[in-house]
Structures are given as structure tokens and as C-alpha cells.
Amino acid sequence: MPKDSTQIGAKETRTSNISLATVIAEMMERGFGPKGAKKLITNVRDPLGWASDTTNLTSDGYTILNETSFKQPIGKILTETAKTVNDEVGDGVKTTIILVGKLLDQAQRLIDEGLHPRTVIDGYQKACQKLDEITDSLSVHLKVFDDALLKNIALTAMRSKIPYNSLDHVANLVVKTVNRASEENGAGRKLDLANIKIEKQVNGLLSQSYFFDGWIVAYPTSRYGMIDRVENARIAFITRPVDAFSMGDYSAKGDFVKIEVTKKEHVNAFSEKEKSIALKMAQKIAASGANVVISNWNIDEAALEYFSSKGILAFKRLLMPDLSRIQKATGGLFVERLDDLTPESLGTSKLVYIEKMNDKEYAFFKGCQNPKAASIMLRSGSAFLVDEAERGVKDALSAIKETFKDPRVVFGGGAFEVEAASQLKTYAQEIGKRDQLAINAFAKALEELCVLLCRNAGTNPLDILPEIKTRHEQGEKWVGIDPYKRNIGNMKDLNVYEPVRVKLQAINAAFETVEMLLRIDYSITAKLSGEKKPHKEKTAEEIEKLEQDMIPKVLEQTSDKYVQPWEKGLQK
Ligand SMILES: Nc1ncnc2c1ncn2[C@@H]1O[C@H](COP(=O)(O)OP(=O)(O)O)[C@@H](O)[C@H]1O
Ligand SMILES: [Mg+2]
């Protein structure tokens, strides 16, 4: 270890990591579930990563963590976990991070009692494996994906993000979009999210959002000429400038040419030359039969004028991601050398038109060659609301996509968590030994998710949870909290579907993060002077002895019908 580094001992490191991670995870708690609160985040980064003076209003777990600037590595680790879950299954981020917090909290209690962190990890791992089995046996295997079912999956995933009065409307749009964009593939259905475009408009009401059979693009620059509608579009995708900078095309070597204008009277001639080159290029493009031209580069004024006179609709400087998505939707090919532009390289769509809405222009590609292309236009007078609605719609689409991959579902509202926890506890008893402590702790952490749903619904978990647990003991395995009625309800009857893939991803990602955090035994801050602390690891025999001594004590403490931390107030 370099002289100028500080080293913090194993116990202190773990304790401080756990308490920090627990605090960060608590950030997610109030926003959890359909009645969760939102966070107001200011100074968010723009898409290029620069800090900007904007504000974000969200309950999205990943957005909250990603927009919070953490100095501590723990914050970054949790943000990574959120990102993984978001990328993998697109929903369940808060479930994951809250579970991380609760598992660490429980782990700390056990460690304080004398259990070695390794033993906690082993027990958690066994719990995780068992949960796989429990989830499978609890799950319902969906056979037919009718509209009602798709809608229910969408509703469960996006309830926390879409205002109640527009929820039904937006869910219908999601179902329409999924029906358009998905395909049957022998074994079942498949949804490729690349087929779906979500556009946003800060204007109107969320209930005026609409589905569009094709592709919508917010057009960044103003257009030249008056053409705003082309039927039976044949679309050329040009990935090079249509202007004199492309003189290379016309030089003998096929290379770019360097031009120096040394005399004043040559300036005019040069500008004429520029125009004529652009014109030639435009004529070449038109000769392919294209009546729509799209480029991510500049298109010279002279070329635009020519296109306009020929009834050709031209888009310049379109963003590359938009360009490639339109290309994918309409089936065209990117062309860099104009000689390669043939009628076969053109994409097609039945109709292309431009609409101006609230000072912003949108291009609509209707009836694309790829029949799976579908768009949703989200509208709201508030930019916050429309951004949050977009995150909600993405959650819903992801949840449906995951259910297509694995058609097993469980039911939400805490019902799954309470049932799985109860079965885990039975398993813990069978296993006995030290492992049962950690497995029981895992079960408690799961129950805490139901506690939070109760709390965020404005009910008192002390009233509700015991009843939910009792009903589960009596065999009603899908009883959970209905946040709208503020009472318990059967989540299966209420159609609160949750994909197994999302649930298992949340549980496994939470476990992996907890394992990683519990395994950190030193934190080293490089290049700072400080005192090194002598550290002595316990021997295996010492650990064995300590743990054997503590088992009866902890079991006794936890046997009291599982006294939760929040129950303590009641017991007084
Ligand atoms: N109608 C409902 N009734 C009860 N619980 C619901 C309902 N809709 C969603 N939930 C619950 O909300 C939780 C998901 O909340 P959400 O805020 O989306 O978190 P996450 O980021 O984990 O997806 C799940 O536990 C789900 O069961
Ligand atoms: Mg969700």
C-alpha cells in the first residue's frame, strides 16, 4: 500500500457502505407503486451529458439515480444496478433498489448479532435459488395474449407514471401499438421495440395522445418550399452532403478537391459553380425516381430549389438515429456514392406528410414498407408530464415484451412478495442451521415491499399487512393491497399482472448487488495521507464459534411472529 493512501478497516467499510446504500435506496421508497410520489430533480444533464438548467419531475427509479450526482462509489454502484435492470427488462427498477436497501438492512442486523457476512451471503443465495422455484410454482402460464390481457400488463407497469384519468387511454394506445409492432414466431409472439417510435408534443392533453400507423419524426430544421405531402413515397437515403463540398464526386480521381479563390472576380463564378454542382447532384438523385430525399447532411439551397420544383420533398440534417429508423421502417438503403442510388435502394411508404404543431414540424411516414412500424404521439401541455408519460409507456412496452419472451406471470400489489416470503420461511425452517437466519431475513426484506405499497397507498401497514398474511396462510395466495380502494384485494381478480422475468430480474439483480457490497472489506482512498489501521481477520474457527453461539439468540428474537422494524412502535 502506498504511503499516501488511506485504508479503512473491513467492519467500518461495510457498515458505512450499508448505511449509505440504505439511505440511497430509501430515495425510491415514496415513489414505489401506483400511488407513489414523484421527485423533482433540477439541473439535469441534457442528452449529451452537459449540465443544463432544466428540471425533471419523475418517479422513475433509473432516472432518479442517474440524475443524482453521487460522490460516493456506492451511489454509482446502485446506479449501475438500476441501469442493468432498466436495460434488461425495462421495468422493476424501484423494486430492485428498494430490495437492495432492505436486504442490506437485514444483513446489518445479522452481522451485528455476530453472523459472518459470508454466511449472510450464502443464506441469501440459497433464498434466491429457492425463489426461482417458488416463483415458477406460483406463476400462471399465459396462453392467449388478447387485448384485455396486454392492457392489464401495460397498466400494472405504468400506473405509477401516468395520471389516473389518462391511464385507460394510454394503455389502449400501447395495446394498439403492440398489436401492430409484434409478430407471431412459431412458439409465441415477439416484440421488437425498434419497430416503435414514441414522439412527444408539449401541447394538448395526455388523453389526446394518439396511435399512428407508421413512423413519426420531429423534424429539426425548417423546410424549403411548400411541399408537405407526397403520396406513394419512394425515399432516397443520402448519407453525404448534397452540396459543393462533395465536389470529390466529380473530380477525376474521385477524391475531394481543394479550391483556392485568389481573385475577387472569381468569387461569383465560384458560387455559380457551387450551385451547378449541387444541381447536378440533385438531378442525379431525382433520376433514381425518388420523390422524397432524406439526408443527415446539408442539402444545398440550389438542390432544395430543384427538388421543390420537381415535387420532391427533401429533409436535410436529420439526426442519424431518426434516419436509420425511417430507413428500417421504409426498407430503403443508405447511399453514400450517388452512383449507387438505384430505384431498388429507395424505401417506400404510402404517404409522407408534414404537419406543424405548436411551432414544431413533424414528418409522418404512413403505411411503411415494414408493416410493423408503429408510433405513439404523446401530448401534454406540460413537458414534465409528457416526459414521464414516455417513461411509463416504455415500461409498459418492456413489460409486454418480457411477457412475450416468458409468458409466466405473477400478481402484484405485494401479493407475490407476501406469498413468496411465507414459502421462503417454511423453507428456512426445513433447512435449519445458520442459513435459516439469512433466508428468514430475505423473506422479511420481500415483505417490506408490500409494506411500502400499503404505506404509499395511504393505509397503515400495521392494519393491513397482518390481515394480508393471515389470508395467505388460509390459502388466498393472491391477496395484496389495492391502493385505489385503500384496502386488501385479490390481485388476480384485479388483473395486476407482473411478468416473472421482471420479478426474477429484480430479485437476482438485488442479490448480486448486495453480495458485491457485503464482500467489500476494504475501501482505499488513494493519494491521501492517513494512518493505517492494523487489521486482524478472524480465523474460521473463531467465526464458527461466534455464529454457533448467536443462532439461538437471533432465532428467539425473530420467532416473535417476525417483529418488523416498523412494528416496534406498536409493541410499546
Ligand atoms: N393496480 C395495482 N394494485 C396494486 N399494486 C399495483 C397496481 N399496479 C401496480 N402495482 C404494483 O406497483 C409496483 C410497481 O411499482 P413501480 O412504481 O412501477 O415500481 P418499479 O420501478 O419497481 O416498476 C409493483 O409491485 C406492482 O405490483
Ligand atoms: Mg414499474
Retrieve residue 348's grid coordinates.
417506400
Within this chain, do residues 359 and 416 fall inside the same structural domain, yes or no?
A: no
Q: Are strands 334-335 and 229-238 parallel, antiparallel or unpaired?
A: parallel
Q: Is 225 inside any structural domain? A: yes
Q: Is 88 inside any structural domain? A: yes
Count of domains observed in the chain: 2
Q: Rounded distance, CA 228 to CA 78, Å?
A: 48
Within this chain, do residues 342 and 373 fall inside the same structural domain, yes or no?
A: yes
Within this chain, do residues 364 and 230 fall inside the same structural domain, yes or no?
A: yes
DSSP-derived secondary structure for 326-372:
HHHHHT--EESSGGG--GGG-EEEEEEEEEEETTEEEEEEEEESSTT
Q: Rounded distance, CA 157 to CA 468, Å?
A: 22
Within this chain, do residues 344 and 484 fall inside the same structural domain, yes or no?
A: no
CATH number at residue 39: 1.10.560.10
Q: Is 459 inside any structural domain? A: yes
pLDDT digits (tens, 9 = 90+) for 399-441: 999 999 999 999 999 999 999 999 999 999 998 878 899 999 9
Element (H, E) at 349: strand 347-357
pLDDT digits (tens, 9 = 90+) for 154-201: 999 999 899 999 999 999 999 999 999 999 887 789 999 999 999 999
pLDDT digits (tens, 9 = 90+) for 295-334: 999 899 999 999 999 999 999 988 888 888 899 889 999 9
Residue 302: what are its φ and ψ, rounded to 5°? -60, -40
For residue 160, the CA-to-ligand 1 centroid distance in Å is 7
Within this chain, do residues 547 and 421 fall inside the same structural domain, yes or no?
A: yes
Within this chain, do residues 368 and 422 fall inside the same structural domain, yes or no?
A: no
Q: Which of 391, 420, 448 represents a domain boundary (last residue)? A: 391
Of 35, 91, 95, 479, the residue with max ligand 1 atoms within 8 A of its CB, to mutate for a pocket test, comes to 95
| DSSP letter (8 states) at residue 235 | E
Give nearest CA residue, ligand 1 atom 26: 412
Q: Is 400 inside any structural domain? A: no
Retrieve residue 198's grid coordinates.
414514441
Give nearest CA residue, ligand 1 atom 16: 33
Give nearest CA residue, ligand 1 atom 4: 413
pLDDT digits (tens, 9 = 90+) for 108-133: 999 999 999 999 999 999 999 999 99
For residue 146, the CA-to-ligand 2 centroid distance in Å is 21
Total residues belonging to the chain: 572
pTM comes to: 0.81
Res. 221 pLDDT band, cuts 50 70 90: low
For residue 471, the CA-to-ligand 2 centroid distance in Å is 26
Q: Which of 337, 356, 391 represents a domain boundary (last residue)? A: 391
Tell me the residue range of the domain where 106 lies. 6-141+410-563
What is the CB < 6 Å shell around ligand 1?
32-34, 36, 61, 91-95, 156, 159-160, 412-413, 453, 481-483, 496, 498
Q: Which of 391, 420, 443 represents a domain boundary (last residue)? A: 391
Within this chain, do residues 442 and 380 fall inside the same structural domain, yes or no?
A: no
Ligand index nearest the alpha carbon of residue 61:
1
Ligand index nearest the alpha carbon of residue 28:
1
- CA distances (Å), origin 126, targets 86, 121, 136: 25, 9, 16
Within this chain, do residues 353 and 471 fall inside the same structural domain, yes or no?
A: no
